[in-house]
Structure 1
Amino acid sequence: MSSYRYTGSLTTSPYSGNVQWILLRNSVSSSSDSVNAFQNRVPPNTREEQRIQGGTTVRRDF
Structure 2
Amino acid sequence: MHLDGVTFDRIAAVDTGGKTPDGVNVDTKSGTILIANDDSNNEAILSRRRRTSLLQRSS
TM-score, normalising length from structure 1?
0.21
Structure with the larger helix share: 1
Higher Cα Rg: structure 1 or 2? 1
Give the structure with the larger strand fraction.
Answer: 2
TM-score, normalization by structure 2: 0.22
